[in-house]
Structure 1
Amino acid sequence: MSTTPGGAGPARGKRGQRPAPADENTPELRETILAATAALLDTRRFSDLRVGEILTAAVVSRGSFYFYFASKHDVLAELVTRAVAQGHQAAEPWLANPPDKANALRAGITAGARLWQAQAPILRAIVENWRTEPRLTDLWLDQMQTFTDATVAQITADPDATQTLAGRDIAAVASSLTWLGQQLYYLAATGTPPFVDEDVLIDTLLHIWTSTLYGQPAERLGHDQ
């Protein structure tokens, strides 16, 4: 990814700074910067993190950093984009229009919960900071919208869900489910009870989704199917 969420190439210096020597600019070095930042976020708040700390952790020059990234916000944007791509993979069981909707939703919610645990430092950082910087704001709104759009498409293609939601604003319902999921996953990733208990988190989200989309809890939905 480039230095901006939708950009096409690496940053070519900052404020007139000279590019790093060519032998320092390699794909491996770029990955080292990303990995070092992700590791730092495990113990440091993104708002307090400085580029100098990333340089030290990654053992790279300032010129090399700015060859690839315009700022620490662009590093976070890349890390978030990669994590979100995994999130879409987690949602695939339900989006595949399975015959057992309850189990498919449970599988997707479970995969989402475990992704948030695995990527907790990165996803905590974006949830806590997406309103602080325009590029992060645009990035997170766009990424969340991709989940909302996928949910809208799935609801629209599901006669049971459209019947349950007859007369409702489907886009608003889908957006509500998407943002609620983000918040509960975030609470779990920050160790906030009761959602730090994975079973509670999954059962709660599953109940909300099935009750909203199908008018009944997961246990009854699975039995009816």
Structure 2
Amino acid sequence: MPARRAHAPELHKRILDATRTLLDEINFDALTVADILTAAQVSRASFYFYFPSKQAVLGELVRAAVGQGQDAAEPYLDPDGDPIDGLRHGIRTGANLWRENAGVLVAIVDAWQSDADLRALWLAQMDTFTDATVARITADPRAMAYLEGHDIRAIAATLTWTGERLYYLAAAEVPPFDDDKTLIDALTHSWTSTLYGIATPRS
């Protein structure tokens, strides 16, 4: 009986799944298309039918992970919710997201400054979080009163990029941020002290 022929969507998924798994074990710089072909059990022609490069595979994986991150931020972005409770929930969910996608997200942070396409992708993805943070701050009278006279977008970008760096360190298992409680407390304090001039109780 002949072997079952893989359908196109299955091949595409196998390439993504194999790359995701490999990135948990291999640095992106060391990863080769040949590694992906072997792990995914697809031909070189099949790979290049879907992706022009390993960078393009990483880009698709990053977009999927960031989509999950945007969902995680919803409690904070809800103008009817308590912003501090929403912040802590979003930061905790974000920490879980980075841990679950550690290989992919560490790879993009390591690679975006040396590849023009990945640079454009990561800056655009980070801008979505900065844009959302600006919208939430400007809808929060308490934060706006405290930040009067400050450049709101600069504040929002500072907070989102600080989060990116600390999540990266946590995903790379760098102390003290490899401890979830320490990470969540530090980021929550950073946000609340910046936006409201207050400290929050540690979790």
TM-score by shorter chain over 0.5: yes
Amino acid at match of 1:57: A
Q: CA RMSD in A?
A: 1.3
Match of 2:160 among 178, 196, 202: 178
Cα deviation for residue 132 of structure 1 reads: 1.2
Partner of 1:144: 126
Partner of 1:7: none
Q: 2 CA distance for matches of 1:167 and 1:173?
A: 11
Amino acid at match of 2:46: S
Cα deviation for residue 219 of structure 1 reads: 3.6
**TM-score, length-scaled by structure 1:** 0.86
Identity between Structure 1 and Structure 2 (%): 56
Q: Does residue 115 of the first structure (1) align with residue 87 of the second (2)?
A: no
Q: Is the 8 Å Cα contact of residues 37 and 75 (structure 1) preserved in structure 2?
A: yes
- Give runs of ≥4 in structure 1 deviating > 6 Å: none
Cα deviation for residue 24 of structure 1 reads: 5.6
Q: What is the number of residues matched between the two proteins?
A: 198
Q: Which runs of 5 or more structure 2 residues have no equivalent in the other structure? A: none
Q: Is the 8 Å Cα contact of residues 113 and 202 (structure 1) preserved in structure 2?
A: yes
Q: Does residue 71 of the first structure (1) align with residue 49 of the second (2)?
A: no
Which deviations, in whole Å up to 9, do the C-alpha atoms of 1:63-97 show, x marking residues without a partner? 00000000000000000000000000111111002
Amino acid at match of 1:40: L
Amino acid at match of 1:71: S
Q: Does residue 124 of the first structure (1) align with residue 111 of the second (2)?
A: no
Which deviations, in whole Å up to 9, do the C-alpha atoms of 1:175-222 show, x marking residues without a partner? 0000000000000111111111100000000001011111111249xx
**TM-score, length-scaled by structure 2:** 0.95
Which deviations, in whole Å up to 9, do the C-alpha atoms of 1:33-87 show, x marking residues without a partner? 0000001111100001110110010000000000000000000000000000000
